[in-house]
Chains A and B, each alone.
Chain A
Amino acid sequence: MMRHPDNPVAGEPPPPLLDVRGIGITFGGLKAVQELSLAVPAGALHGLIGPNGAGKTTAFNLLTGVYQTQTGSITLGGRRIDALAPHQIAEAGLSRTFQNIRLFADLSVLDNVLIACHLRGRHSLLATLLRTPFYIGQERAMRQRARDLLAVFDLNRFEDELARNLPYGDQRRLEIVRAMATQPSLLLLDEPAAGMNPQEKKELATSIQRIRREFNMTVLLIEHDMGLVMDICEHITVLDYGIPIAAGAPKDIQNNPKVIEAYLGIVEETPAKA
């Protein structure tokens, strides 16, 4: 495993944490995603953008095993994950948030995070029912970890509140906390800023950069809000009609004619409209 190489050999770039090669899926006749390749190095903040219906969320669903890719391969930290079930992919170190919030609405905020901690614990039915010292210690450690994570987004005060009662922005933040609780090496954020006001978006951008630093996490971000993506991402891949049309640094993307065309439509070659 070469997840976080301590001293990468100079001149030879370390292998990317997430290596996606030519994945794709077809629904009936619709080619939702085609020939998508991505390389996300460890520690990067990578953006995936594209107009509505470009296949961004489908790409996430392919990565997280909700759909199985029909072509190509997905490698995370040197391990093939494209044939695994979603829970095995989570175990391999890939966690996600959802574009349409999917919290455990009728459970408490703390329970939402604790459920995501389940994966990294060792649970036996016998120890659970007998309440062995090991079980009690583990439960206590899980609670502590969940509270620490909630503190990152200042959600501690809602600990006992039902998730459905949180304000919208906090629900989005709770989704990020929950995803982080699985201790991923790669965090997939599906439109984390959707429905937020400019102030909240700014705070979110700071938070994302902070968790990335503090938790040594690699982030792959889908976002509609170009401002946010251009601000915080180091590398951007643009999808249109399921096909990657451009990749590069934010500056290059902004000026890429193909991208402009995808977002704004074809620019007519008439001088009047220049």
Chain B
Amino acid sequence: MLPVVVIVLLSLLSYQYLTPWIGPFYANVASKVGIFVMLAASLNIVNGFTGQFSIGHAGFLAVGGYTAGWITYYGSLYFFDSAMVQEGLFTPGSTLFVAGCLAGGLVAAVVGYLVGLPSLRLRGDYLAIVTLGFGEILRVVLTQTGDVLVTKADVQQAGLIKTLGAVGGSLGFGGVPWYNNLFWTVLFTGLALLVCYRLKQSSMGRAMLSVREDEIAARSMGINLTKMKVSAFVFSSALAGVAGGIFAHQSGNQLVPGELNFQLSFDILIMVVLGGLGSISGAAIAAMAVTVINEALKDPPSAVLYGAAATAVVMGLMATEHLATRGKRPLAIAALVTAAIVALAVGALAMWFDAPLRIALEQLAPRLGWVGLLVMGVVVVTLAGLLAKWRLPKSIQPLTYVRAISVSALAVITLELIRVQAHHHQVNLAEYRMIIYALALILVMILRPHGLLGLHEVWDIGRLFRPAKKST
């Protein structure tokens, strides 16, 4: 019960104090991050736990979103004569919104069952094909729906069947009251993460992981493969449906079929794969990072200082693991703390020095032609690749750190060159973000095939500090 109480308290706090403090713009961004954290965590159950490959997650988001939006919008029209947002946290209208989100989860679960059952009985990549097709079919069907009805009289005249289809067509489902705020986002995201974590820790979660590890061994140990895969898929769809419900009520959002497309599914997929297949905290962190990077790319800061902060974290983690596995606990803790402090300090410095640094570096741009940049880019990437794959003798530990620093330095230089050049030619990098993610995916797949965190959670680092078991 305690975690639930903590989550409720956190949501109240973020509504009461955080929202006024950060202002409506950042509250809105925070809510969007929360929604993506939920989506990534839910997709992680299928792609991470059971090791299947679903690439139509936006479809389930759409199912949940349209269901919840329909219930709130037409419910408001029917019961309150108006779909205007009612002021306050707990109003009849927001009750309708919560009920709508839960109903959205339920409908998405049913759809997930219908999509999942036939495709998960088969082996291999059928699921990827079917989910891809499902997402596209749904998108096209949604564009063919009727116009949104705007008054109660219209609704009464149209009747239930016609109203069911009145969700705006390709123009989108406008008018869904924006009931969502940080309270609901934190509440639903927190509960979703808790539920995912409890699932992972449970016998069912382990059974799902066994499916991913080795299907033949799993079924010989009495695991019903189809049942496990379908349960995971239905559960994941339900969570995505709830997230969709919140998405539909998020201020500034509108349900538009054209935006709930493959691109969105792919964004969610990237979060899961980058963060770690099977890691809930990894998926959540990657969801935050990707959402923040999407925003940051519109006016990118200099990579130098943030890159240095990231390098400090990586180096600190390496040193921590190295020291902890050799039983030097105090030193390991010191390394971890130092890394955190350095990263925070450099990050804070970036707040002040980023602007002058950017201006200074941008002076460089006219001196580099595109060709020069291309050549430098190829050289830098090749060097980084060679360094990363360079086999080191085990005895020379310091070299690993030298290598890590050089790889990060090269990566930062590349990013910075691209940024400077893009700035000079007034190229909007946000439009090329898929290229950046694709490159990041390639790099992660080469260096860490199971994503940055793999199966681990962030707090697993605490395990390094536990006294080692006595071997007999």
Contact = CB atoms under 8 A, between A and B. Distances in A.
Interface of A: 64, 66, 85-87, 90-91, 95-96, 98, 102-107, 111, 114-119, 121, 123, 125, 128-129, 131, 135, 138-139, 142, 154, 157, 159-160, 178-179, 181-182
A140 to B, nearest CB: 12
B214 A102 contact: yes
B203 A125 contact: no
B203 A139 contact: yes
A104 B203 CA distance: 15
Interface in B120-160: none
Contact of A118 (B206, B225, B231): B206
B443 interface: no
Contacts of B180: none
Nearest to A120: B222
A90 B216 contact: no
A87 B198 contact: no
B223 A115 contact: yes
Interface of B: 195, 198-199, 202-204, 206-207, 209-210, 213-214, 216-225, 231, 235, 450, 454-455, 463, 469-472
B221 A125 contact: no
A95 B225 CA distance: 16
A117 B203 contact: yes
A90 B198 CA distance: 27
Contacts of B471: 157
A105 B450 CA distance: 13
B222 A87 contact: yes
B220 A86 contact: yes
The 10 closest A-B pairs by CB, nearest first: A119-B222, A90-B222, A104-B213, A102-B217, A86-B219, A116-B221, A128-B202, A115-B210, A87-B219, A87-B224
Contact of B220 (A90, A114, A125): A90
Given A104-B213, A105-B213, A111 B206 contact: yes
B455 A128 contact: no
5 contacts: A64-B220, A87-B222, A104-B217, A106-B450, A160-B469
B231 A90 contact: no
A182 B223 CA distance: 10
Contacts of A103: 214, 217
Contact of B222 (A66, A118, A160): A118
Contacts of A121: 203
Contacts, number: 106
The secondary structure that dominates the B interface is helix
A161 to B, nearest CB: 9
Nearest to B194: A129
A118 B209 contact: no
Nearest to A98: B217
A159 B469 contact: yes
Given A104-B213, A159-B469, A114 B219 contact: no
Contacts of B454: 106
A104 B205 CA distance: 14
A182 B217 contact: no
Contacts of A117: 203
Given A102-B214, A104-B209, A139-B202, 19 more contacts: A86-B220, A87-B220, A90-B222, A104-B213, A104-B214, A104-B217, A105-B214, A107-B210, A115-B206, A115-B207, A115-B221, A118-B204, A118-B206, A119-B221, A123-B204, A128-B203, A142-B203, A159-B469, A160-B469
B180 to A, nearest CB: 23
Nearest to B202: A128
B222 A116 contact: yes
Contacts of B222: 87, 90-91, 95, 116, 118-119, 182
Given A116-B222, A121-B203, A139-B202, A154 B209 contact: no
A131 B219 CA distance: 26
Contact of B225 (A87, A111, A131, A160): A87
A123 B213 contact: no
